[in-house]
Amino acid sequence: MADAIAAARLVISGRVQAVWYRAWTVETATRLGLRGWVRNREDGSVEAMLIGPPGMVDQMAQHCLTGPPKARVTGIDRTPAEDDGSQGFAQRPTV
């Protein structure tokens, strides 16, 4: 099914704040044609909503395991999500 859309919520832990992780996520997800958002969380993790073709969502989730050069990802919690109607890919405020 060519028009299939997947959505996943990721919570990325490790050294992922103050290392350009959110901007990198916006840039990489946009390049892959995904919709959604990314934000810092007060607990030091980064949360992302990825929406798009299943293969691209999976590819972005794999990229998130590494992140930008200064990041040190120690884990990703991935859960299925619903398409929240996001347009484009944006950086959101910390929660």
- Give residue-wise pLDDT tens across range 12-66: 999 999 999 999 999 999 999 999 999 999 999 999 999 999 999 999 999 999 9
In a domain, 50, yes or no: yes
Question: How large is the average pLDDT for residues 67-81?
Answer: 98
Amino acid 3: pLDDT? 75
In a domain, 63, yes or no: yes
pTM (predicted TM-score): 0.95
Q: Could you give the 3-state DSSP secondary structure of residue 91? A: strand
Q: Are 94 and 45 in contact (CB under 8 A)?
A: no
Rg (CA), the chain: 12
In a domain, 52, yes or no: yes
Structural domain boundaries, residue 30: 6-80
The total number of structural domains that make up the chain: 1
In a domain, 93, yes or no: no
List the CATH number of the domain containing 58: 3.30.70.100
Catalytic residues: 22, 40
In a domain, 67, yes or no: yes
